[in-house]
Structure 1
């Protein structure tokens, strides 16, 4: 916990002026605790017991004035508290975000889902508990100190009789703190593990269902839930030690005063002084101790353990983190050709050279000097994080948007010079949001190839597994209501339409994302067997395992190669696949950069 102490002390030292204002207003707030017992004693001894009722009320009126002053000071205390707590919270949030970004963007790094819990939960826990700790520790020091000073003014023996059990209760509480910290740390760690387990289960739920691993995943998450539940119960049991401390330090002084009251009166202590002592204990010391034990034993433990977790998970940047990025050395090995796919054609299905594209003149390029060749008959999968440029590449290849610079040729035809009719004969693009129009099912399937005969349509439906959908809709002649179809059904209709199209190049831009994994695999295998070339903008990483080659958008340096080749060369691809084993040595040379 050295880092917690150092960080806390640094945060307080950096805000001396707000702390000074907080201490000054705390003096005013503790005024009732300092004067309450003395004024009550004077009201009883010099007023009510002496038969001077007005004098007694005057002394109590003085106490009322002190309470009003304390109330005004309390409002100022909270205003000063924000000037200390909020900047500390901002510093921690900045540290968590910086640490998560460094880890996610460094070579070989990976995103950490627990960073979300640290930012949205743990930083807020530290903020709230830091403010609470300042309040209760400050309150105990000023309130308990004022009450003890008042007791000392009434009677030094009384002050000693009260201080002894108070110190005993504090000692018991301090002795139990290490165990409390250990159990609180276990509770925070269990919460993070549960967050990671739940995030992994939710992220991979489609593949879990496809592989039939529901039972195993549920059991893993359940173990994390049980672990966190056990940690919470252990923390609850530690509350018994806090109760013991409160009993010794808060209630034992009351018992001592009540038992010793007759003896104290015989020794010459006035009745008002005994009553004033009880007021100091019950309205000053006891509430202050209760707030301290509950605050430090609850919020204080959460503060120490949670802040320690943040500091360990998000260390400050080292010298290597501040160094400018170094460009990778050029690959000295020759670029390997794509897999053999029969006799080599004279022209490529897709040839992109030096493509640069950005959304707006001042925007960061989505693609920069991008070069790619896709051979006739090849099956290419394009993978990468969301927003990396996969759909932009599909639109450029299909000729839907012009590049800022560079060129795209489909079978030696430049897409920027081709008419829409010519492009329709060269390629078919199936987007994620499939278009289905009102009309018969046959109209929707055949409008890219209206001359297709029944046997051709039947073969396409069989290849893509679409006959159950046809039967459900009532046959090919049935009227289709697009709004009544599910997203997956619309995608399947669009896939059959593209399968029937005469274009030799098919581009599936996340066109099967609403299908279940088994149906997605069937559709992609059908397109791979279809004569022509297939480019799949992958929604699931399993699409990459079915392709001849894979293009991965790995930061600013897209790479193309086989599955095994990319496992070695691309940290992004390893993260997407979830595979960290070292590949065989003979797969290290064939990865190609897409830089022109």
Structure 2
């Protein structure tokens, strides 16, 4: 658990400014806990018991103001909490993504089927439990501290009577906490072992039957079931220790005050002070201790165990000898330097030797985009030029920002900073009608509606006649599909088509669009390689510009230029240029060894299926 403690402490140190703001608002939130007992005591002693009803109401009015200030502080507390929790979640996700890619990035490595679970469910468990743990610990410190200060203001002897049982309860809980963590971890491990054992047995059930090993396998799985049941019972018994600490630290002070009340009065403590002390204990200390014990004993344990396992999974590194690097050639290749994403004001592409032709079709300047104010930037001051006749493939690891870039180009997302221009027209503020004339975006999930095939194809080009529709189908590779369906007049429904057939129809519809810019966002992922190649060649030969968000590296081989999301900044160049300059691209292309020579640039024959 050392890694958990170190990482948690580092997160708190790195976010100390946000923690300082959180502490400031916590002071405002804890104002009722500080003043409730004292103001009540004054209302009783100086007001109601003294026969001054108005004075008593005035003291209670002060309590009402303190409660209002506390409610206002509570609202600001939750706003400040996000400044600590959300960056922690982003950093943890980055750590896991990198470890997963590195662990899978060398020959002989096994695919990690739990990576998605770690990046979704388990990271969210850590995020939620970290936020809850921070809130309960913070709440206890400020609420308990405020209540003890209020008790000292009322009568130091009362504070001494209450502090003893409270500390005893905390000692009981703190002593049992390591065992709770250990048993919670045992429960998680037992559940994972049971799932692994049962899954393997079910997957190999035919072999088990053939080998007549049923009794042995049932015994193995049964032992996993028994181990998980034992761990469940142990964790349940640990709940008794939480109840014990609550009884000692939360309820004992109430009993001590009630039993000591006559003695306190003889010592000169007023009735209002005794009542105020009971308020401090019952509405301040006991609820704060209850939240601490259940928060740390529940969500806190899940936080420690889950984060510990995530950090263990992140310690994956490839063998040093297999580091995917390609040594630069001894003689500089006779090609233009690759276009690299540059800071704002230094455009990528569009110049001599970059492969772009014709007038500008897309111009991105200073593009910055992030999902949320505190999220990591997907694009940061990114520039790109794409000319008429250009063909750009966008590749990179899943989740790197490829689809985000396509959506920004299409005007579906607006950047935090920077501009997107299509043939000189800014997408910001452009109406859907204007955007539809400028570009067409085909996403991975192809949309087909219940109507005739011709109606589906004419969606973006209503004036197209049947000859134009049939010609487009032939170019894209949809002729056999149209024949199977029964021609252009055939009525189609989304459920009656496969995912690949829907993609062919969507691609043909986009091909017929008058828009000069085509964005294929993994729009051919359900097609076989030969059909995919035909679709991309059709759009490459079509007037205008083409951007392909690629799921197969063969799409990059067909493109004039390639943009790869490599680390913090995307990089563009040709296939051969990126093989020499981008480790991420070499991994995607499958060149793992540093001693493998870079192959010559090649394009497959039109009729040859690509791998």
Normalised to the residue count of structure 1, the TM-score between the two structures is 0.53
Does the CA-based 8 Å contact 1:190-1:224 persist in structure 2?
A: yes
Aligned to 1:271: 271
Aligned to 2:186: 186
1:4 aligns with 2:4: yes
After TM superposition, the structure 1 = structure 2 runs for residues 79-228 of structure 1, keeping only pairs within 5 Å, are 79-197=79-197, 200=200, 204=203, 223-228=223-228
Does the CA-based 8 Å contact 2:43-2:55 persist in structure 1?
A: yes
- Cα distance 1:260–1:64, how it changes in 2: closer, same or farther (>3 A)? same
Q: Tell me how far 1:236 sits from its aligned partner.
A: 1.5
Aligned to 1:22: 22
1:289 aligns with 2:306: no
* Distance in 1, Cα, partners of 2:65 & 2:588: 68
Aligned to 1:305: 305
Aligned to 1:234: 234
* Distance in 1, Cα, partners of 2:193 & 2:136: 31
Aligned to 2:508: none
Normalised to the residue count of structure 2, the TM-score between the two structures is 0.52
- Cα distance 1:149–1:206, how it changes in 2: closer, same or farther (>3 A)? same
- Cα distance 1:362–1:194, how it changes in 2: closer, same or farther (>3 A)? farther
- Cα distance 1:199–1:95, how it changes in 2: closer, same or farther (>3 A)? farther
* Distance in 1, Cα, partners of 2:146 & 2:268: 24
Q: Tell me how far 1:326 sits from its aligned partner.
A: 6.1
Aligned to 2:56: 56
* Distance in 2, Cα, partners of 1:52 & 1:280: 24
* Distance in 2, Cα, partners of 1:233 & 1:111: 34
- Cα distance 1:57–1:320, how it changes in 2: closer, same or farther (>3 A)? farther
Q: Deviations over 1:239-259 (max 9, x none)?
A: 100000000001001010000
Does the CA-based 8 Å contact 2:102-2:318 persist in structure 1?
A: no
- Cα distance 1:188–1:325, how it changes in 2: closer, same or farther (>3 A)? farther
Gaps of 5+ in 1: 328-359, 366-432, 439-486, 488-508, 510-553, 559-594
Q: Tell me how far 1:107 sits from its aligned partner.
A: 2.7
- Cα distance 1:317–1:58, how it changes in 2: closer, same or farther (>3 A)? farther
* Distance in 1, Cα, partners of 2:147 & 2:306: 34
* Distance in 1, Cα, partners of 2:322 & 2:43: 69
- Cα distance 1:323–1:45, how it changes in 2: closer, same or farther (>3 A)? same
* Distance in 2, Cα, partners of 1:51 & 1:110: 81
Gaps of 5+ in 2: 328-389, 396-480, 487-497, 499-527, 529-586, 592-609
* Distance in 2, Cα, partners of 1:73 & 1:218: 58
- Cα distance 1:320–1:254, how it changes in 2: closer, same or farther (>3 A)? same
Aligned to 1:420: none
Bigger-Rg structure (1/2): 1
Q: Deviations over 1:287-342 (max 9, x none)?
A: 11111111111111111111111111212758949943469xxxxxxxxxxxxxxx
Q: Tell me how far 1:194 sits from its aligned partner.
A: 4.1
Q: Tell me how far 1:185 sits from its aligned partner.
A: 0.9
- Cα distance 1:132–1:60, how it changes in 2: closer, same or farther (>3 A)? same
Aligned to 2:531: none
* Distance in 1, Cα, partners of 2:294 & 2:322: 43
Does the CA-based 8 Å contact 1:197-1:221 persist in structure 2?
A: yes
Question: Root-mean-square deviation (CA), in Å?
Answer: 4.6
- Cα distance 1:124–1:254, how it changes in 2: closer, same or farther (>3 A)? same
Number of aligned positions between the proteins: 361
Does the CA-based 8 Å contact 2:105-2:318 persist in structure 1?
A: no
Q: Tell me how far 1:361 sits from its aligned partner.
A: 5.8
* Distance in 2, Cα, partners of 1:23 & 1:156: 26
After TM superposition, the structure 1 = structure 2 runs for residues 189-588 of structure 1, keeping only pairs within 5 Å, are 189-197=189-197, 200=200, 204=203, 223-315=223-315, 320=320, 323-325=323-325, 362-363=392-393
Does the CA-based 8 Å contact 2:103-2:317 persist in structure 1?
A: no
Q: Tell me how far 1:87 sits from its aligned partner.
A: 1.2
Q: Tell me how far 1:45 sits from its aligned partner.
A: 0.5
Does the CA-based 8 Å contact 2:165-2:248 persist in structure 1?
A: yes
1:39 aligns with 2:39: yes
Q: Tell me how far 1:230 sits from its aligned partner.
A: 3.1
- Cα distance 1:230–1:96, how it changes in 2: closer, same or farther (>3 A)? farther
- Cα distance 1:364–1:66, how it changes in 2: closer, same or farther (>3 A)? closer
Q: Tell me how far 1:208 sits from its aligned partner.
A: 6.0
